[in-house]
Amino acid sequence: MTLVFSPSDPKFWSAEDLSDDYRRQLETCHTCRICFNLCPAFPDFFSRIDKVDGDMDRISKEDLDSFTDLCYQCKLCFLKCPYVPPHEFAIDIPRLVLRARAVRAKERGVKMGDKILGDTDRLGEMGARTAKLANWGNRNPFSRLLIEKLVGVDRRRLTPEFHSPTFKKWFQKHPPPFPDSPVAKVALFYTCLVNYNDPSIGRALMAILAHNSVEVALPDQKCCGMPALDGGDMGAALSKAEFNVHHLSAYVDRGYDVIIPSPTCGYVVKKEYPHLLGTEEAEKVARHSYDVSELLFRLKKEGHLNLAFRTSPGEVAYHVPCHYKAQMIGNKYVELIRAAGGKVKVIDKGCSGIDGTWGMKEGNFEMSNHVAENMLSEFKNSPGYQACTDCLLAGLQITQGTRMAVKHPLHILAESYGLLY
């Protein structure tokens, strides 16, 4: 069985072929059910197929649409599934759902709310230019009601703040020093969330890299494209992917590794770009792309990481993001915080339930909170611990559910070094 992943394949856009593959894959899921408790999509589908005595021929298009809507792309089913490629059953539910959203959007058009949420660069630029007003609007009940009606973001959901200047503008005014003998050369894919919503993560990273004699370059870049994929806007996602691969590839050719501080964006660059674009250039960029923690851990292993930390991070409760786990790179931030003298409690109790735009949307708020219950209870049972995660959106869920302030691991490492950011 050959799966259809690339939008350049005519079969990708065939509604009939999609329906056949959807039914084939979900029938295998029905007979296995190892994913019954991972997300709302599987219990909903299992309930529907049980009502028709396991007969896939009686599963309707509406049943499949429901699965498509309830999947929030955590990728955990792919990690747990025993039948993923190269197994002959060839099960890949997350990419199947992305394809289903793209085909549906081509048939019905991309919803206005998905268009807006998928264009994070435009949204971020507007928010950064009017940061005080935008942040006030995100706290004002009347404007939140209006945003809910027009865009679909639930009025109760805590949303990221906008910052001015952006990380990119800050970087241009504060270019990092070029070390005489760099231990590594990296091209930073800084991500939309760092650029527009929390530039302090980027500043902390720059301080850490300078402290460890790493040369840093800042390629031209756009959003990774995941928010567009969430809404089925394949054209926008491909445009962003092609732009990013072109500019990142030029740095890879000059001996730079690409580093990424956000797990979702890292997953997309490393795992999705080769499938979406199907080019050697995309494969090359993926092979040379790393989560920031991978770079720092490598430097530590090679004896190049400065281990002269001034203070201990103390007790840290660290949530492992789903898309960090999906990269299958281990818990490297945990080891780095421990190397700084910290005591780490790993919170690995399922997904945060935000997952990009899904947990932001009206109609998903209660489900999102239900998904996050186990994770949030672990934080509530960790008094005195500093809450930590490298997923900014998961951090918002933690703050909303527990009132705890949340830091990125890079904040904690920079502070342990005694660095200003």
Own/partner pairs for 123-129, CB < 8 Å, 24+ apart?
Answer: 123/196, 124/162, 124/166, 124/192, 124/195, 124/196, 124/197, 125/196, 127/162, 127/196, 128/162, 128/163, 128/164, 128/165, 128/166, 128/196, 129/164
Q: What is the dihedral of CA 227, 121, 185, 420, to 10 degrees?
A: -110
Count of C-beta atoms within a 10 Å radius of residue 246: 14
Name the token pair of 393. 């959106």
Strand positions, DSSP E, 48-196? 184-188
For the chain, domains (ranges, CATH) are: 10-108 (no CATH), 112-150 (no CATH), 167-299 (1.20.1050), 309-417 (3.40.50)
* Under 8 Å between Cβ of 291 and 332: yes
d(CA 235, CA 8): 11
* Under 8 Å between Cβ of 270 and 243: no
Count of C-beta atoms within a 10 Å radius of residue 344: 21
| 325 HSE (CA, 13 A, CB side) | 20
Per-residue model confidence (pLDDT) at position 2: 64
| 192 HSE (CA, 13 A, CB side) | 25
The single residue listed with the structure tokens 């445009």 is 239
Per-residue model confidence (pLDDT) at position 5: 80
User: 277 to each of 5, 206, 238, 281, 330, how far by Cα in Å?
Assistant: 10, 31, 7, 9, 27
Pairing of strands 315-319, 289-291: unpaired
DSSP state, residue 181: S
Which amino acid is it at 39?
Answer: C
The pTM score is: 0.94
Per-residue model confidence (pLDDT) at position 253: 98
d(CA 396, CA 407): 10
Per-residue model confidence (pLDDT) at position 3: 76
Name the token pair of 132. 């005080």
Closest CA to 394 of 160, 185, 195, 212: 160
Count of C-beta atoms within a 10 Å radius of residue 270: 21
d(CA 337, CA 348): 16
Per-residue pLDDT of the chain (421 residues; tens, 9 = 90+): 667 788 999 999 999 999 999 999 999 999 999 999 999 999 999 999 999 999 999 999 999 999 999 999 999 999 999 999 999 999 999 999 999 999 999 999 999 999 999 999 999 999 999 999 999 999 999 999 999 999 999 999 999 999 999 999 999 999 988 898 999 999 999 999 999 999 999 999 999 999 999 999 999 999 999 999 999 999 999 999 999 999 999 999 999 999 999 999 999 999 999 999 999 999 999 999 999 999 999 999 999 999 999 999 999 999 999 999 999 999 999 999 999 999 999 999 889 999 888 999 999 999 999 999 999 999 999 999 999 999 999 999 999 999 999 999 999 999 999 998 9
